[in-house]
Structure 1
């Protein structure tokens, strides 16, 4: 199994339960890892034999900057579901991490995050 990683993408969205989150919005970071077979792409240097990083970035941007969800769990699930559907036959599994670096929670912590794995990801 081979992997493509698109790490630490940064977006601004309006996901959350608290009114401050849905009204003011906040930064989100996302990392997506794809389980793929890119051996032929490596041997042939053919872009058509791999998954477009641009396409994955644009898909994440559309979802994170689009329709608000209450939970980042739902954001991650939507991204994973779309990747597996849009790249069926190319992506066998994916791992999605969504990070809220500044949630409106009192206290001292670096960030909150969820990470999900869907499909075949060894």
Structure 2
């Protein structure tokens, strides 16, 4: 099965992709940064570049990828989980999850 993962380079996404590959699925990683996703490409993951806040680019990327399933795992969490870093990350994380997530689901 061909599965597109939005949020592929995050903590959940990386683990999820490893499990999907182990089960024999074809995986597409939706990413804003091809450089950040390069390790996934080295594992045989197809990369689809788009910003989840750009609805047209997102639709085009998903149409090109032709996934059978889309999994949305978008988050923007800090590298360290302190009260300060989590508070600082919260506004963008919320926007990413609500607006970006809605765009991914609409595009799917």
- Find the structure with the greater CA-based Rg: 1
Q: TM-score, normalised by structure 1?
A: 0.32
Name the structure with the higher strand share: 1
Name the structure with the higher helix share: 2
